[in-house]
Amino acid sequence: MSLFESPFFQDAFSQLESAGATMKMDPNVLERLKYPKRALQVSVPVRLDDGTVKVFEGYRVQHSLTLGPGKGGIRYHPHVSLSETAALAMLMTFKCALVGLPLGGAKGGIKVDPTDMSRAELQAMTRRYTTEIAMIIGPDKDVPAPDIGTDGQTMAWLMDTYSQLKGYAVPGVVTGKPVAIGGSLGRAESTGKGVVFCINFAYEKLNQKITNSTTVAIHGFGKVGMPAAHDLHSQGAKIVAISDVSGAIYNAKGLNIPAATEWVRNRKLLRDLPDCEHITNEQLLELDVDILIPAAIDGVVTKDNAHKVKARMIAEGANGPLTHEAVDIITDRGGLIIPDILCNAGGVIVSYFEWVQGLQMFFWDLDTVNKKLHDIMKTAFDVVWKAKDTYKCNMKQAAFISSLSRIEGAMKLRGMWPG
């Protein structure tokens, strides 16, 4: 299987090359960053509830460990592949470097639809997958976290399995755990909160502020979109559209976000929510709004539909929701894009906090977590904004340049072994 199989990897690769050329990066460093350090493919046999055994494909990819242990989520989704996982690991490398964390980039996943499985089957699959990747993960090697299709319970099973293999509790092997077993306060909503921090930073740079006339559309009302919607709603913004896999709901006067949240948390689909206008996910992306937050999956805005996107600001809550062609199209017509490796970095930042708290066995209150998150994201945002002005480029490229500058410096200091 080729790394270049997925459009997502091709797009990440293109953005790396483009940023490298703009900043005149050392070609030897650039060449090394094009490929992951290590990629593990595993078979995950699971005995299903009906007694049959089914084998799933699993992966763990470590792109770079130059700055520290690997960091990145584990995804349960039908589209998981080596190529997609490698692309996500590459983006994690750049994300951790951009926000100044002592961590490298990694990612993992299993090709599966978790909604088709029972709790017992998911637990068995997670424990077997953990056993298969145990040799390359650990608090000082590579620290997984939740992603699409996984959650705190998944991480609890992973931590317990790894701890059973070691013979003692190892809470630092994963982040995104429930607070009761070493998780951090604020972790669950951290990615969405970071998205809103970045939106506010951007508005400050533009000498504007969020008001009750600010309109927002959110593609993906889940782990990222839901807390982002709540924070923006509490600031007075008008959330006019949200969506899930079933479609989107729309109200020009603003949606009742608390009611929609309660509906979704009861495992109900938005398409079944009564007393609201239903539109498609595609129509949501094309709404005339102030802020669009694509917070679901990658590749939803491409060269084919970018010219239909009317939002003045796009905050990339998901990983890679805009292709590099779409970024160019939207930037050329005056749109401001807050790039994914900056905008959704809140999750990995608070994961880092959780890792640090677990190693120290000393835990922080929520205000401390959120204050530290705000400060780190503000520093990173200012660095990217300055790079945008220095290199006369868009925010996406500026974020890559800022990240690559740190990685290049570290790689040159460490050198290559053998020389």
pLDDT at 111 over 90: yes
Radius of gyration (C-alpha) of the chain in whole angstroms = 21
Q: Give tens-digit pLDDT for 13-36.
A: 988 999 999 999 999 999 999 999
- Give exposure, 69-104, as e/b (b: 16+ Cβ within 10 Å): bbbbbbbbbeebbbbbbbbbbbbbbbbbbbbbbebb
User: Contact, 24 vs 408, CB < 8 A?
Assistant: no
Mark whether 107 is an active-site residue. Answer: yes
> 239, 170, 206: which is closest to 381 by C-alpha?
206
Q: Residue 4's pLDDT is what?
A: 81
Q: Residue 16's pLDDT is what?
A: 93
Q: Residue 394's pLDDT is what?
A: 93
Which residue has tokens 């708290």?
357
Confidence bin at 100 (pLDDT 50/70/90): very high
pTM over cut 0.75: yes
Does the bond joining 78 to the residue before it have cis omega, within 30 degrees of 0? Answer: no
Q: Residue 2's pLDDT is what?
A: 77
- Give exposure, 126-163, as e/b (b: 16+ Cβ within 10 Å): bbbbbebbbebbbbeebbbbbbbbbebebbbbbbbbbe
pLDDT at 240 over 70: yes
Please compute the mean of the pLDDT values over residues 52-76 and round it to a whole number: 97
User: Contact, 20 vs 30, CB < 8 A?
Assistant: yes
Q: Residue 299's pLDDT is what?
A: 87
Measured distance CA(309)–CA(258) in Å, rounded: 27
Q: Give tens-digit pLDDT for 319-374.
A: 889 998 999 999 999 999 999 999 999 999 999 999 999 999 999 999 999 999 99
Measured distance CA(106)–CA(390) in Å, rounded: 30
In order of their start, the domains of the chain are 3-170 (3.40.50.10860), 190-338 (3.40.50.720)
Measured distance CA(231)–CA(311) in Å, rounded: 19
User: Contact, 320 vs 12, CB < 8 A?
Assistant: yes
Confidence bin at 8 (pLDDT 50/70/90): confident
Side chain identity at 130, as an amino acid letter? T
Burial of 57 (0-12, 13-18, 19+ CB in 10 A): middle
Q: Give tens-digit pLDDT for 172-202.
A: 999 999 999 999 999 999 999 999 999 999 9
Strand boundaries in 161-279, DSSP class E: 215-219, 238-244, 247-250, 277-279
Q: Give tens-digit pLDDT for 82-99.
A: 999 999 999 999 999 999
Confidence bin at 1 (pLDDT 50/70/90): low
Measured distance CA(292)–CA(335) in Å, rounded: 11
Q: Give tens-digit pLDDT for 213-234.
A: 999 999 999 999 999 999 999 9
> 194, 211, 129: which is closest to 375 by C-alpha?
194
What's the length of the chain?
419
Which residue has tokens 């740079």?
205
Average pLDDT in the chain: 94
Phi and psi at 151, nearest 5°, equal: -155, -165
Measured distance CA(378)–CA(200) in Å, rounded: 10
Burial of 327 (0-12, 13-18, 19+ CB in 10 A): buried
Catalytic residue, candidates 107, 111, 193, 223:
107
Count of CB atoms situated within 10 Å of the CB of 245: 13
